[in-house]
Amino acid sequence: MNVISQISLLVLLLELIFGALFNPKA
């Protein structure tokens, strides 16, 4: 995997994590 794909995956994971934190009922 290249760096760009790794960064995009990290961004998606961070969005899921922060979404779960700020929306506990989700």
pLDDT of residue 22: 86
pLDDT of residue 2: 92
Of 22 and 13, more confident? 13
User: DSSP readout, 5-26?
Assistant: HHHHHHHHHHHHHHHHHH-TT-
Q: What is the pTM of this model?
A: 0.59
Measured CA angle at 7 (ends 15, 19), to 5 deg: 5
Among candidate residues 1, 9, 6, 11, the one with its CA nearest the CA of residue 19? 11
The dihedral sign for the CA sequence 17, 19, 21, 26: negative
Indicate if the pLDDT at residue 17 is higher than 60: yes
